[in-house]
Amino acid sequence: MRYPRSLFILAWALISAPAFADSAPPTELRPGMVINRSVLIKKGVYRFNGQLSLEKPVILIQGNNITIDFNKCVLQGSTDKQWPNEFYGLAILVRGDNITLKNVVVKGYKVAIMADSCKGLVIEHCDASYNYRQHLQSNWMREDLSDWMSFHHNEKGEWLRYGAGIYLQDCSKATIRDNTVTGGQCGLMMTRSNDGMIYQNDFSFNSALGIGMYRSSRNLVVNNRLDFNVRGYSHGFYNRGQDSAGLLVFEQCNDNTFAYNSVTHGGDGFFLWAGQTTMDTGEGGCNDNLLFANDFSYAPTNGVEVTFSRNRISNNRILECDHGIWGGYSYQTQIIGNQFDRNRIAIAIEHGQDNNISFNEFNKNKEGIRLWARKQEPGDWVYPKKRDTRSMKYFIDHNSFYDEAICVNLKLTENVQGKKNGTTRIGKFLKMDSTVFNVSLDSGYENAFVFPENDKREKQLLKWNSKKLPRYSDTIPAGRKYIHITEWGPYDFRYPAVFLNSIDSQNICHFELMGPKGNWKLISSHDLAEITMNKGGFPSTLTARISGTDRQLELEYDGPGFTDQFGNLHPAGKPYRFSFRDFQPVINWSVNWFAWDPAHDPNKDYTVFLQTLDKPALKSEKTTKLDYTWWGPIGDKLPADSFATVAEGEVTVKKGRYALSVTADDLVKVFVDGKPVIDFWDAAQYKYDEDAHHRVILDLEGTHRIRIIQVENSGYATLLFYLKPL
Give average pLDDT by consecutive 10-residue segment, the chain, 726 residues: 41 42 81 97 98 96 98 98 97 98 98 98 98 95 92 94 98 98 98 98 98 98 97 93 96 97 97 96 96 97 98 97 98 97 98 97 97 92 94 96 97 95 95 96 73 84 78 85 96 97 95 95 97 96 96 97 97 95 95 97 96 96 95 92 97 96 97 97 93 96 98 95 95
CA distances in angstroms from 223 to 177, 183, 189, 375, 689, listed in the order given: 10, 20, 17, 42, 33
Q: What is the dihedral of CA 646, 649, 654, 656, to 10 degrees?
A: 10
Alpha carbon of residue 584 to chain centroid: 28
Q: What is the pTM of this model?
A: 0.94
Q: Are 85 and 135 in contact (CB under 8 A)?
A: yes
d(CA 713, CA 686): 12
Residue 23 CB contacts under 8 Å (≥ 6 apart), including other chains: none
Count Cβ atoms below 10 Å from residue 298 Cβ, excluding itself: 26
Instruction: Report phi then psi at 441, rounded to 5.
Output: -120, 125
Q: What's the CA gap between 100 and 35, in Å, rounded? A: 12
Distance CA 423, CA 1 (A): 37
Residue 414, Cα to own-chain centre: how many angstroms?
36
Contact call for residues 199 and 466 (beta carbons, < 8 A)? yes
Q: What is the pLDDT of residue 380?
A: 87
Q: Is 633 helix (H, G, I), strand (E, B) or coil?
A: coil
Q: Hey, which residues does 402 pair with through a beta bridge?
A: 363, 424
